[in-house]
């Protein structure tokens, strides 16, 4: 396995100047609809995982909405030397969601059973690393740490959040770009083989939750600049929370009737910086994007609640004082 920071060599520049073309993009397909879950999961049990073969060496797995209201997507890329799993979803219990068993079965199906498997994360939120324990101690499996120090060290990012690293899978190169903002360790992955951009929770048909608005805007601008002159087949994120009508499903819902497709486009990547520039710091609906800062909203709600509580307490104190004054004047009479 090889991970390195991007450098543009003289040979590369000469190749571009001489009109050398990139290898042909390997095509694939995506379903327009995924398992929509159920209103009553006990009465209507759902398969724990839905597996879709984008092509013979690329797989999209969706965790059942009945197993986790997050409905996470994880991605498996098979190369000639090793395979790459992007995220492990929200479920640790293999009996509930047999992610490791399913992934190893797909690797075997693709003829790569004896090759190493590298497990990485778009970021460290629990719903993107919850299944790590299923891979711990398995032969030929490496799970990359999800804390910021581990991410920077593994990929060799010395000037975080700048730089681009590569993961070499053997005949298949995956670029890794730092994109903090949704969360401090967030990265996105670009598979040159398929031109798929795996955007994690930075860009998806769902609520875009920000921990650091300024960092997210800067990341969105860097990403837009990076993809501008590159082919992007699809942008694939970590969740779907939006219906075909554009409405958002309730957070944590186990049922997504009429759910929209997973994939977004290069146009969405290029439009994201402008949407983030209009973010008011709390909640903004800008075109196809719903941007939220949960911490700011929580602080605002808490502030309002404290203000209301203070008014109620003040009113109660004034009421007791008036009652006491009234009782005193009545006694004196």
pLDDT tens digits, residue range 35-88? 999 999 999 999 999 999 999 999 999 999 999 999 999 999 999 999 999 999
Nearest to 74 by CA among 167, 161, 180, 201: 201
CB contact at 8 A, 251 and 292: no
Per DSSP, which regions of the chain are E strands?
Answer: 2-5, 49-55, 58-63, 73-78, 83-86, 117-120, 141-143, 165-168, 173-178, 187-191, 196-200, 207-209, 234-237, 283-286, 289-292
Average pLDDT in the 185-210 region?
98
What integer pLDDT is reported at residue 4 of this predicted model?
Answer: 45
What integer pLDDT is reported at residue 285 of this predicted model?
Answer: 93
CB contact at 8 A, 181 and 168: no
Nearest to 172 by CA among 106, 115, 129: 115
User: What confidence tens digit (pLDDT) does each residue in 105-153 have?
Assistant: 999 999 999 999 999 999 999 999 999 999 999 999 999 999 999 999 9
Q: Which residue has the tokens 């919850």?
A: 130
Q: Tally the residues of the chain.
A: 333
What integer pLDDT is reported at residue 19 of this predicted model?
Answer: 38
Give residue 317's pLDDT band: very low, low, confident or very high (50, 70, 90). Answer: confident
What integer pLDDT is reported at residue 320 of this predicted model?
Answer: 74
Q: Residue 108: in which H helix or E strand, if any?
A: helix 99-109
What integer pLDDT is reported at residue 15 of this predicted model?
Answer: 39
The strand pairing partners of 73, in sequence order, are 62
Nearest to 252 by CA among 127, 72, 34, 70: 70
CB contact at 8 A, 171 and 80: yes
Percent over 90 (pLDDT), the chain: 80
pLDDT above 70 (res 95)? yes
CA 156 to chain centre: 22
What integer pLDDT is reported at residue 255 of this predicted model?
Answer: 98
Count of H helices and E strands in the chain? Answer: 6, 15
Average pLDDT score, the chain: 89
pLDDT above 50 (res 8)? no
Give the DSSP letter of residue 69: T
What integer pLDDT is reported at residue 59 of this predicted model?
Answer: 98
Through-space distance between the first and last CA atoms of the chain, rounded to whole angstroms = 94
Q: What is the dihedral of CA 188, 193, 196, 202, to 10 degrees?
A: 0
Q: What's the CATH architecture for 2-291?
A: 4-Layer Sandwich (3.60)
CB contact at 8 A, 251 and 207: yes
- Those residues whose C-beta lies under 8 Å from the C-beta of residue 275, and which sit 6 or more positions away, are 284, 286, 287, 289, 291
Average pLDDT in the 29-35 region?
95
- CA–CA separation, 314 and 301 (whole Å): 20
CB contact at 8 A, 115 and 171: no
CA 33 to chain centre: 19
Q: Which residue has the tokens 């693709």?
A: 110
User: What confidence tens digit (pLDDT) does each residue in 253-291 have?
Assistant: 999 999 999 999 999 999 999 999 999 999 999 988 999
Average pLDDT in the 160-173 region?
98
CB contact at 8 A, 151 and 145: yes
What integer pLDDT is reported at residue 318 of this predicted model?
Answer: 72
Full-model pTM: 0.85
Q: Where are the domains of the chain?
A: 2-291, 293-333
Give residue 305's pLDDT band: very low, low, confident or very high (50, 70, 90). Answer: low
Q: Residue 310: in which H helix or E strand, if any?
A: helix 294-332
Buried b (16+ CB within 10 A) or exposed e, 236-269: bbbbbbbeeeeeebeeeebbbeebbebbbebebb
The strand pairing partners of 327, in sequence order, are none
């Amino acid at each position: 396995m090889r991970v390195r920071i991007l450098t543009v060599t003289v040979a590369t520049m000469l190749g571009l100047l001489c009109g050398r073309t990139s290898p042909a993009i390997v095509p694939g397909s995506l379903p327009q609809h995924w398992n929509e879950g159920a209103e009553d999961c006990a009465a209507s049990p759902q398969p724990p995982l839905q597996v879709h073969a984008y092509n013979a060496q690329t797989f999209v797995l969706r965790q059942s909405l009945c197993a986790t209201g997050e409905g996470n997507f994880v991605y498996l890329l098979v190369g000639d030397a090793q395979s790459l799993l992007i995220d492990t979803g929200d479920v640790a219990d293999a009996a509930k969601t047999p992610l490791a068993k399913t992934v190893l079965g797909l690797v075997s199906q693709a003829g790569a059973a004896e090759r190493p498997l590298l497990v990485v994360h778009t970021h460290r939120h629990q719903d993107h690393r919850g299944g790590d324990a299923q891979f711990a101690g398995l032969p030929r499996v490496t799970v990359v740490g999800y804390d910021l120090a581990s991410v920077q060290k593994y990929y060799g990012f010395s000037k975080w959040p700048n730089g681009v690293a590569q993961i070499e899978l053997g005949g298949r190169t995956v670029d890794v770009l730092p994109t903090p903002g949704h969360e401090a360790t967030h990265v996105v992955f670009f598979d040159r083989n398929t031109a798929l951009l795996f955007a994690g929770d930075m860009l998806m048909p769902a609520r875009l939750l920000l921990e650091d608005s300024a960092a997210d805007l800067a990341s969105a601008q860097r990403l837009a600049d990076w993809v501008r002159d590159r082919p992007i087949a699809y942008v694939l994120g970590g969740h779907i929370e939006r219906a075909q009508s554009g409405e958002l499903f309730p957070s944590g819902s186990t049922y997504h009737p009429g759910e929209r497709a997973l994939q977004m486009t290069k146009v969405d990547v290029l439009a994201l910086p402008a949407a983030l520039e209009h973010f008011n710091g709390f909640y903004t609906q800008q075109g196809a994007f719903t941007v939220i800062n949960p911490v700011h909203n929580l602080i605002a709600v808490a502030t309002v609640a404290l203000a209301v509580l203070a008014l109620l307490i003040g009113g109660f104190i004034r009421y007791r004082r008036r009652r006491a004054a009234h009782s005193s004047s009545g006694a004196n009479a």
